[in-house]
Amino acid sequence: MAIFKKWIRRVNGDVTDLLSTGPIPPFHVDSLLIEQYPDAIYVLDTNGRLIDSNEKMGLLFDDFALSPADAEEFAPYHEQALTGETVHFELVKAYEGQQRKLAVTCTPLYKDQLIQGVYGIVKDMSAEWDTQNRYAIMKVGRELLEQVPGLMVIEVHLADGSFSFSSQVSSFLGISRRRLNEMHVEEIREAVHPDDWERLTQAIQTLRTADAGADFAMEIRLRHQMTFEDLPVTVRGALSVERDVITYVIFSTKDQQRIENELTDKDELLRRVCEASDTAICDYSYDTSQIEFATGQFQTIFGYTVKQFNAHPNYWKVVINQDDLERVNQANEQTRHTTPVHLEYRIFVGKKQKWIQECRQHLHDETGRVRGFQALIRDMTEVREQEAEVLRLSEFDPMTNIPNRETMFQSITRLIQTDIAFVLFTVTFNRIGDINRTFGYEYGDEWRIQTAHRLQRMVPDEAVVGHLDGDTFLVVMPGHHEDEWLIQIGEQLARLSKHCFQLEPYTVYPNMQIGVSRYPNDAEDETTLIRRSYMAMGRAGKSGAAPISLYASHMNLDELKRFELLRDLPSAIDRNEFYLLYQPKVNAWTGDITGAEALMRWEHPTWGVVSPLDFIPLAEESNLFIRLTDYLIEEVFRFLATLPNKIPISLNVSPKYLYHEQLFNTFESASERHDVPLHWIEIEVAETSQLDASHHIMSVFSSLRALGIQLALDDFGKGYSSLAYLQQFQVNTIKIDRIFGHGVSENKQARAIIHSLVVLAKEFGLDVVVEGIEQMEDLLLLRQLGCKTIQGYLFSPPVREDAFLQMMETGKLIPDPLDDHETSANRYIQAGITITTIRQQPVSVGLSSIVLTSRTDQTLHFYAALRLPLEGDVTFIIRFASGTDLPVRLRRMTEVTNGLYQYAAEYESSPTIEAHLTALEKEVSGNEEVTDYIELVHQPERS
């Protein structure tokens, strides 16, 4: 895995491949580690002297007493490693009468960036070699039998008496393959004619006592086990060189003449074997520098005839891949002295590259002089291509052919281990989900391919692009870089959001977000680094912001608050920092309190009162929402038990909680514990896609109603499936969302929607509650529309238990419209607010947008979409588009509506400051309303 190799060397000045899958080269020799290493290992200094080795090395090389020939074999590779290259080669050594194949890796040993020696790792590949040879034998036999009809082969393994047979044996003898597999050698006697058994036995005994390579041939009769017909055959038997296998080749006498015509001599048989196994054999003479013999497959493998090679003895140097030429030259020299010699190299046949494997054995003349060598040549192209494909599939995304997530994670880990600074971009195109759902997955696949390839062309040359998930990618870039430069790179990448991607016959534009984190500035481990890059990406492009966001240095108050809430949420439950507020539900005509909604709040030590809009989504990212909901249920039942005149109290339950196995038990046990009947409880569930599992939800709703619990659909009207929910689920109440109720007197469309929903609810026999009512004009209109129950700031904001108990003493509320909250009638200033210190520690975060509406007597008033702490160890400044900072102290906060807060803040006034603020004021375009300020605070501050 060396996808960063091209720039690692330039950045670090290190020629080692730091991203290889092997271990990182040590900078000193640790004898303990050497002994613990699973393979044989040795260490040499720059002069080739042995520094250290482990016990496994002694087992392979007789206590590392290398012969002169061994030293000569190793020396060229050691010299090559001392130039800074990692060298791989193979050796075949004789050990206790057996051939051993060894794979050796020589790697330069560094200390203080200088090569101090070489260490080698030696792996015994004998078992793998033997397996390959057996596989080659089996493949040759199988291919040969497929091409030569009427030929049968039986192999008897003398060590254990087992045997194997070709497919023709079963049909020829009338014995099923299953029975053949279960038979012993002695049982084969039943298939031989009794009169021929003695002659066959004598021939076999003679063969077993003869020299290796001996054979025999004789004619016998075999008896078909189904028809009992005697079939004349010719049996040829041969003993293997290792004297452990007897091979019988059996011809039907009827077909023998035809077969002998096809296989006239050993050369023809050899040719067929070589063709069947993609193998060639050639004999090379040192005396004539010519190829004296070669099977026909030679030309197929090399693309040239023997005659062409012999006419141009040096032409092979042109055919061989030049990167492998030195290896072949070394093998040629080595072949003159040792045998066998194994080598692998690449050649070009036309425009195609092939992998060639050779095994060379000496050829001797009558005097025993080495006169040349015989080479067994195999075309390994298919095997190597399959290996490369397996490696590619394991490390690369098969769709886009870029590094996959696992490869990127491993490579990032390697970079961190080598302590090389780099930057991580997380880039998402935000479209694949819609494309898959709308057009189909084949278009989604094409989208991934196009976006990946376009992104690769956009990034700097030294960057590496990898796939993370869907149409989200990781980009890794080397070195330390200033924030301004990273933002420039991100803006260049973000230009792809203007690019039209063609998915015939559709055109699609991406909605890009880019997050950036840096090593080692932002994190020191890969998991945190990637997560923080992903967090920064989540901020990018929101509320009109730029599509690129850098972690930490550009984190705004919203993200800082979210980070600290997520960190403190688990311990906050244990510290009992949560409490409930109750907002009354009121009769629209009489003001009578007919119910209430329980709303949870978090008293955070730094951020003050935290809305459930902030912490519930965080809790739902884990199972903490179950603990919070259990707490909510327990507190509501406890409070109901204290009410002398009970009213229904509703509580919000996440749709995910409806899948909780203890759902019913939680409500029933709380009811029994506090002696409060379940019919005083109403569950509000917001319409959501999680309710689409209708069979389960319908069953849960039915069981809750059977317990006496009332059910309400919260935020009704926002979702596209609201009417479908009314048909599927049996609920008691619908709560019309505040987006329709707030300002309904000024909105004809909202008025028509509420009227339709009231009529619809009447037909279904449902109660209706309208949320978000803050002005008297809205209440009067809702009365005309027939809405009976109102919930909103017009009657009361959410209050604590003691205040709610005081309300219940009269049981009636008088509407009190919201005032103007000290807003200016005709001017405003857009700015940003940020924290300078928190818990007396300096912090550097970005801005959250605010809108200043008025200022009087060193007090200014502004709107914000963020609940800021009035108390706690936090200091604030307001920063204006001109770059001027104004320190402020927050004194009062009013929750004007969900998602909008109005603050009063003290500041030190001066003529200069007042003049500057006056210069920044902008004219109001018309009669500004609360909804207009909501839009303004979600816009970035403008210069």
Q: Which residues are catalytic?
A: 771
Calculate the CA dihedral of residues 748, 749, 750, 755 and round it to 10 degrees. Answer: 90
Q: How far is CA 906 from CA 393, 417, 859, 862, 917, in A?
A: 63, 51, 5, 11, 15
Give the whole-angstrom CA distance, residue 92 versus residue 103: 9
Give the whole-angstrom CA distance, residue 419 versus residue 415: 6
Give the whole-angstrom CA distance, residue 748 versus residue 302: 85
Q: What is the 3-state secondary structure (H, E, C) of 490-512?
A: HHHHHHHHHCCEEECCEEECCCC
Strand, coil or helix: 750: helix
Give residue for tokens 């580690």: 33
Question: Is residue 727 classed exposed, middle or buried when 0-12, 13-18 and 19+ CB atoms within 10 A define those classes?
Answer: exposed
Half-sphere exposure of 230 (CA within 13 A, CB side): 9
Task: Determine which helix (DSSP H) or strand (DSSP E) holds 307, and give its type and residue range.
Answer: helix 306-311
Pair of tokens at residue 694: 């209708």
Chain centre distance of CA 242? 51
What does the DSSP 8-state code read for residue 778? H
Closest CA to 489 of 471, 477, 473: 477
Chain centre distance of CA 135? 36
Closest CA to 108 of 87, 81, 88, 89: 81
Pair of tokens at residue 623: 């199972």
Task: Determine which helix (DSSP H) or strand (DSSP E) holds 789, and give its type and residue range.
Answer: strand 789-791
Contact 27, 110 (CB under 8 A): yes
**Bridge partners of residue 90, in order along the sequence:** 103
Pair of tokens at residue 416: 């961190």
Pair of tokens at residue 102: 């060894």
Pairing of the two strands 767-771 and 681-686? unpaired
Give the whole-angstrom CA distance, residue 280 versus residue 286: 19
Give the whole-angstrom CA distance, residue 797 versus residue 898: 11
Q: What is the 3-state secondary structure (H, E, C) of 594-628?
A: EEEEEEEEEEECCCEEECHHHHHHHHHCCCHHHHH
**Omega before 340 within 30 of 0, i.e. cis:** yes
Chain centre distance of CA 521? 24
Strand, coil or helix: 62: coil
**Bridge partners of residue 25, in order along the sequence:** none
Question: How many degrees, rounded to 5, is the angle at CA 473 between CA 469 and CA 474?
Answer: 120
Give the whole-angstrom CA distance, residue 641 versus residue 643: 6
Q: Which residues of 128-144 are buried (b: 16+ CB within 10 A; e: fewer)?
A: ebeeeeeeeeeebbebb
Pairing of the two strands 789-791 and 767-771? parallel
Give residue for tokens 């803006």: 491
What does the DSSP 8-state code read for residue 23? P
Chain centre distance of CA 810? 61
Closest CA to 291 of 278, 279, 309: 309
Question: Is residue 744 classed exposed, middle or buried when 0-12, 13-18 and 19+ CB atoms within 10 A define those classes?
Answer: buried
φ, ψ dihedrals at 123, nearest 5°:
-110, 135
